[in-house]
Structure formats: structure tokens, C-alpha cells
Chain A
Amino acid sequence: MRIFFSLILLLSSAFYLSLAFKLEFISDGVPGGGFLPRVTGLILVIMTVYNFVKELKADRKESHEKSNVIDMIKVMLVTFLYILLFNILGALLSTLFFTIAILVFLNKGKWKINLIFSVVVTIFVFFMFDYFLNTHLPKGILENII
């Protein structure tokens, strides 16, 4: 993953630089919109190439607890779903499901506490933002009910 991440940085930098070349470096004798992007992009590409080579040579072993990595990926996926459903189900329902799902994974077996905790947190957050702070959170399928 370490090498992969440095490769992504390298490719994104190269992509950025290639786009920067389409912008004007000098316009009317003064630095144009492409001036800083080209300079930044160029340094970035040089540095990320060097970084990539360095990471290739570095020790590849990554010591980690497998169950932690799995837990982290679960949380990532649940968060992804949460955002996906945020507009569709509405903030209230999606937040409730999200909290329950996270706790089912991380706080196993204590379903009673998890359920009460989720309901309390969800209602608290929803009312704080929607009523107290006056931000209009999406209501989703509950549009006509709350």
C-alpha cells in the first residue's frame, strides 16, 4: 500500500502538471494563470518520482493487526454508504442506521446499549443542527412526516 500510495501521488502530480501546461505561463508579459501551477507541478513531479523510488527501495513489511485493518475497512464502507444514503433516506434515518452499523461492528454483543446510544445520538445531532443551528438537513423519505 505504501508504494501504491506514493504511485498515486506521482500519477496525480503528473496529471496536474500536464493540465498546467495548457494554461498560459506568461500573459501580456506578466505571469499568467499557469505560472504557479507549472512551477508547483514541476517540483511536485520531481519530488514524487524521487519519493516513489525511495519507497520502492524501503522496507516493504508493514506490521499491522489484521482485525484492526478489517475494522477500519468496515468503518470506511459504512461511512461511504452513509453519505450515499444521506440524501435518499434523509439525515435522520441514515444517521441512525450509520450509528447502529458502526456499533454493531465495534461494540459487539451489547445490542441494548448500542440501540439506545444510537437513538439518543441521532436525535440529539438532528435537532441540534436542524432546529438549533437552523441548517436544513435533508429529510429524504420522511419529507412529509417531520
Chain B
Amino acid sequence: MSEILLNMSQGFSEAISPLNVLLVFIGALIGMIVGIIPGFGASAAIAILLPFSFSLEPISAIIFLAGIYYGSMYGGATTSILINTPGDSAAVVTTFDGYPMARQGKAGKALIVQAISSFIGGTIGVILIFTFAPLFTEFALKFGPPEYFMLMVMGLLTLVWMTEGSKFKGFISALIGIAAATIGVDVITGVPRFTFGSPELIDGVNFVPVAVGLFGIGEILYRIYAGSHKDSEGEKMDLSLKSKQNWPKLKELTSSTGSFLRSSVIGFVTGVLPGAGATIASFFTYTTEKKLSKEPEKFGKGHIPGLIAPESSNNAATAGAMVPLLTLGIPGSAATAVLLGAFLMFDLEPGPLLMKDNPEFSWGIISSMYLGNIALLVVNIIAIPLFLYVIKTPYRLLIPIILILCTVGTYSLNNNIMEIWILFIFGVIGFFMKHYGYSPASLVLALVLGPLVEDNLRQSLIASHNGLGIFVTRPIALGLLIIILMIVAYPYIKKFFVKKG
């Protein structure tokens, strides 16, 4: 216990500088605004806004980006409630009860319940990180290349297996990411690969133009294709904070204490699992709450616990996802993959060693997440009228702004025109991928993990005396392999039993 408190105080003293607090606020606010834009979730928000962090100190930059990560999760839920359009997949479940509430004229109340749920989920998540991250670090120090390799395969497979749409095409997307990651000089032998003699490709494919292209430009093209630019302005809603009916009654919240706690803890655990994350957490807790409820028939018709479950859990999952990222250096989702990319850009290699050698840094980031949570609760409630403004801005006016930010932002990365061309190409590819059911998120995660996957695979095989045997003779690696097989087999087993039943 005392160790946790020590970590906390160390972290907070690192995180609380006037600049960092300001950055958390700004990051959270900008993240929230980007999150409101339909189709733009955490990964897009972090990728597009990444260039804004370059001129900062590493810790401030990461704090800023983590704020964006958090903020975009909040923002995504806002449009779910107000216009039945989730900002990203993690906010889909929020529409189930949030939108019916808005239809009944309780939009303001729904937004406040959402803010409180997110705050509680995030808070419990951060407390759990403080508790479990040191244990994870201890455990992770025992990991060698085979374990790391297995973990990364597990993360990639889970993401592919759990996302909606075709698993097959998700798998192809991940393989393309791995293939793209092999471009550049081979770090072990020093041989250039797939570079065609071009000096730009020696260092490999930079993930920023790829991620911004797929998530930013690809999404915009897809939205135009779907006709979002022709949408008329939204209807008027009463969101005044002065009117009493827009605030939830205390009893409505206290009667749901169980929902808050369960959803937050389940959300956190789901977030820690590589590849699972916020979307699955929100679906899972919603069904759990519905099953446990005495009034399951009310779910889907604007029932408050139906809003609490997804919102507490997806924010707790966001916190949970930071655990493998910080302690193992392995991102479990596209959003944390983009964050890892940012770490690497600042020459920081997250993992057990960073936690051990540079604890104030890691704890500083975690503490900043807590500050981000407070910032968001305040900003979120004060900014409710601002949301309406963003939502009422016609999509066609947002299109040039996003395209410019993507282009100029990518250029500012290395002042390299070549990278904007890569951005454009991946924008077009991103459109087709999204349109035909491939998975841009799997591609990006694989691209970021690719070099690590390759390095750990080859290190394992070099150390092994019996080829692939090393993956089954080491107990932790074997355990991970069994989990991977279970993940892969699960949908088929389920199908088999459903058919039989």
C-alpha cells in the first residue's frame, strides 16, 4: 500500500507543473472536439494531432497526447447521445440508451450522466493502474523474446478476431502491416530490404503518414462517399445547464453504484488484455448489466444504467490499455499503437526497464491521466453548449480543416514532401479498406509492432536449440500460446454450440 502511495506522490509531483496541467486541459479539450466528429476516434485524434507535440519536452508531449486519447473517448460518446452517431466503435453501445434519452428531451441529463460515468470509470482505472502496474513490471522482467513474441501475436490476433467485419480481411490487413514493417534496413544483418535504392526508405516506412492517411484522409473520403457532407444542420436541443431537469437526481446515480463499480473493473481488465479494448468492454458490460438488472426490459429505451455501463467501462478500458503499453511496451489497440509510435519518436522505449529506471516518467504519465480525468469532467460539463456548436457545424466545412491538418501536420514531421505523398496514397488505400471491409486499425497496429515482432521472433529462434520448440518449452510462452489458440478457436466453438443448441 505504502508503495502505491509513494508512486502516486512521485507521479503527481512530476505531472503537476503549470505547463503540464495546461497541456492536459488543452489536449483533453482538443481530443474531445476531434472525438465529436463522426468517424474520428482516439487513434485518428492522436495521429492527426501528433505534430503539435513535437516542440514539447518528452514527458509534456506524452501527457498532452494522453490527454487527447482520453478526451476523444469522451467526445465520441457525445454524438452517440445527441445525434445517434458514435464518434468511434467504442461509443456504439452508448447510443443504445443515450440516444433514446435525448429523444425524450433528456439530452442534457444523458450528457451529464455520461461525464460522471466516464469520470468514475477513468478514476477507478487509474487507481487500478497504480496498483497493478508494479506487479506487471515485476512479472514482465521475467519475459524474454519468446514471451514478447507470443504477447504481440496475441494482441494482433485478438484485434483481428474481435473487430466487427471479416476476420479474414482483418488478417490480410495485419499481414500487410507486417510486410510494410519489413521495409528498410534489417537491424540484425544490416541488409537493406525492399528499399529500391531509395534513401527515404532506408529507415523504413514511417507510421505517422500511414496512420494519418488511413484514419484521417481515408475516413474523410469514406464520409463523403457516404454523403455526410450533404447532411443538414441538426435540430435544436435544450442543453442549458441552468434548467434543473438537465441534471440527474442523486438517487438515480446512487442506485447504480453497482453498475459503476462492475463496469469500471470489467472495463479495466478488458482494456489490459492486448487487442480487446474499449469497444469490447462496452458491449460486454452492457450485456452484463442487462442480465443482472431487475428491469432488463427498460434497457434500450433510455435507462440510466444502460448509459453508465458502456461509459464507465470504455474509459476504464482506456486506462487499462496503458498497462501493457507502459509495462511491456506493447500496444493493444490502434490508439495505443499510435501512442507507442510517439514514445519511440521521442526516443523512449516503454517497457519494464523504463518503469524501473525512470519511474517518475511512467508514474508522471499515469498521474496526468488522472488530472486529465478531472479536466474532462469539468470541461465536459461546462462545454456542453460548445458541443452543440461543433455538432451543428456542417460536415462539409470540417472536411477542408481535417485534410489541411493531416497534410500540414504530416509535412511538419520531417519537412519531407515524400511523406505527404505516402499520406495521400494511404488515404486512398484507407478509403478502399474501409469500404470493402478490411481493417485499417489492424494494419497500423501490425506496422508499429512489426519490427518488434520480427526482432523477438528471430532472437527467440537464435536462442532456441530446437527451432520453434522454444515457444512450447518455456512455461509462460506456452501459456500464452494456449490463450492464443483459445482466442482463435472461440468463435468456431461458439458457432458449433449455437448450431447444436
Contacts and interface: CB of A to CB of B under 8 A. Distances in A.
Interface of A: 1-2, 5-6, 9, 13, 16, 19, 23-24, 27, 30-37, 40-41, 43-44, 47-48, 50-51, 64-65, 68-69, 71-72, 75-76, 79-80, 82-83, 86-87, 91, 95, 98-99, 102-103, 106-107, 117-118, 121-122, 125, 129, 133-137
Interface stretch (B117-125, B134-142, B263-271, B454-462): B454-462
B383 interface: no
B193 A31 contact: no
A51 B407 contact: no
Chain B contact residues: over half helix, strand or loop, or mixed?
helix
B342 to A, nearest CB: 15
Contacts of B461: 30-31, 35
Interface in B225-250: 225-227, 229-230
Contacts of B427: 79
Contacts of A41: 179
A83 B168 contact: no
Given A36-B454, A125-B405, A72 B224 contact: yes
Q: What 10 pairs between A and B have smallest CB-CB spacing?
A: A135-B412, A33-B186, A106-B396, A102-B400, A72-B224, A99-B400, A33-B191, A36-B454, A44-B175, A30-B462
Interface in B401-444: 401, 403-405, 407-409, 411-412, 415, 417, 420-421, 424, 427-428, 431-432, 436
B392 to A, nearest CB: 15
Contact of B408 (A33, A44, A137): A137
11 contacts: A2-B436, A13-B179, A31-B458, A44-B179, A79-B217, A91-B408, A106-B224, A107-B394, A129-B409, A133-B54, A135-B412
Interface of B: 51-52, 54-55, 168-169, 171-172, 175-176, 178-179, 182, 186, 188-189, 191, 193-194, 217, 220-221, 224-227, 229-230, 394, 396-397, 399-401, 403-405, 407-409, 411-412, 415, 417, 420-421, 424, 427-428, 431-432, 436, 453-454, 457-458, 461-462
A118 B421 CA distance: 23
B191 A106 contact: no
A119 to B, nearest CB: 12
Nearest to A54: B168
Contact of B400 (A31, A36, A71, A98): A98
Given A68-B224, A69-B225, A75-B221, A5 B436 contact: yes
A71 B52 CA distance: 30
B404 A98 contact: yes
Chain A contact residues: over half helix, strand or loop, or mixed?
helix
Contacts of A102: 399-400, 403
B182 A40 contact: yes
A99 B404 contact: yes
